[in-house]
Structure 1
């Protein structure tokens, strides 16, 4: 499948993405003390089944189970050295489910925040953030993702480093999403307008919002 297929299809009609992975895993008995990304290796059959259900429900896009599969988040489980493997496996499992249901489903490599604060609020430099995102995104692209979804970001600087890494690691379409509260601010105080102004020069395929508030609030 052409990697430009995402934008071509989006130009024709809205595309329906899947729903949350973490919620589904929790409903199946996996607690919050579990590394959900590691389930790509420990319980791949569960991940494939969830993907398959979303595909059967009509999803045009399946997001990989890799939201937290970066070295900083994985370090909490001493799995930082497995970042590339977990991301590649995540793409493979989503692709397997797509083949089982409908071959034209697009696979989106899911990339979330690092789970640590960048300087000056934290001790992580922008360069360290860039390297972590580059490792994750490079693995997603190498495994054959059709696009990337950078999602649930609150810090513009962190999202910029993810975009910089995506531009350096691959040529995939990138969706850049931040999460806003009811006052239309991110946790770091970023407004939607500020997000658009900062992110536009990076030329992502789409700029959007996800999580935190209801659909009506996201629409506004």
Structure 2
């Protein structure tokens, strides 16, 4: 394992570590929610590059005659102005960390659009665009560094659960397939300038383990590493991930990677997420993060929790000493992030167990 390798960006790693010691850091909010507000059409997703059904920027000119609308990661290449505008809005709202628009930038997810050949390019572009936005804002406020989180989404496949109720032993992917899928994405995120890598919205811990294994392979090959962030998803009132783990069991399963932070995001609103974040705060030797949804979806699939309501709940998290990093997932906007940033401003971050022992 590459735990003894040096940081790839030691100055950035130290700035992040220093910021985490000083205050609760703010992660940005939802990307998909904000993209929907632009009411983009097929032409926006195609841009000039894919306008007539072919990828003319690629040496083989792959056919892209199927619909591309909905492939939000592709906007990094065809409408980077939209993604940059969303990134900047979150930074102006108070975000310390930007998540790259690469949630579905893996070969598994891009296969739905027959664009697997773009995986490295999408991830590199996603990290580079977020880096550009962070640097622009940081130049104005150099005393407050901003950081790029290279996002690795869960993919639409699960390595430990059968997709067929009539065949419990069936799997539509494997550990090695996922490992290869993630590796290409990781290379792009690092080359694009990510400060950290986050394996997020984890519903199947075996998927996450494949991503973490691929991360360590890339670190070993490069002779250096980045901080790793991990964020799981409690899927419902059962208090477990889709693959059946409680928050405590989930942490035990991924702690071998010595992550910078472990947290929870998506599926639940802040109030319902509270007991599970509290569990993580009790057991984790890492920093703890939370970026919940803006409540639960209504009958139309929309999220109704206001910035003020969500911020008030997360203020309670912070005053209880549960948080090191906090932001928003589905349904959240820059208004939510601004309210959350204000709600936790000046409150001390959760202290790591090692710090508590020293204080005692």
Is 1:177–2:231 an aligned residue pair? yes
1:110 aligned partner: 151
Distance 1:196 1:119 in 2: 17
Is 1:61–2:110 an aligned residue pair? no
Cα shift at 1:33: 4.7
Q: What is the aligned length?
A: 220
1:95 aligned partner: 131
Aligned CA-pair RMSD: 1.7
Is 1:127–2:137 an aligned residue pair? no
Distance 1:63 1:197 in 2: 25
* Structure 2 gaps, min length 5: 1-8, 42-67, 140-144, 163-170, 220-224, 276-360
- Indicate the SS of the match to 2:25: coil
Is 1:11–2:21 an aligned residue pair? yes
C-alpha contact (below 8 Å) 2:160/2:206 kept by paired residues: no
Distance 2:200 2:160 in 1: 20
Cα shift at 1:120: 6.0
Distance 2:207 2:192 in 1: 24
Moved runs in structure 1, 4+ residues, more than 3 A?
30-33
The counterpart of 1:137, out of the listed 175, 183, 186, is 186
Cα shift at 1:216: 2.1
Distance 2:108 2:116 in 1: 7
Point out the more displaced range, 1-10 or 186-195: 1-10
TM-score of the two chains, using structure 1 as the length reference: 0.94
2:264 aligned partner: 209
- Indicate the SS of the match to 1:208: strand
Point out the more displaced range, 100-109 or 117-126: 117-126
2:81 aligned partner: 45
Distance 1:17 1:117 in 2: 27
Question: 1:161-214 CA distances to partner (integer Å, 9 max, x unpaired)?
Answer: 111111221311111111002221112222111101111112111111001111
Larger-Rg structure = 2
Point out the more displaced range, 4-13 or 26-35: 26-35
C-alpha contact (below 8 Å) 1:48/1:94 kept by paired residues: yes
Distance 2:135 2:193 in 1: 14
* Structure 1 gaps, min length 5: none
C-alpha contact (below 8 Å) 1:6/1:173 kept by paired residues: no
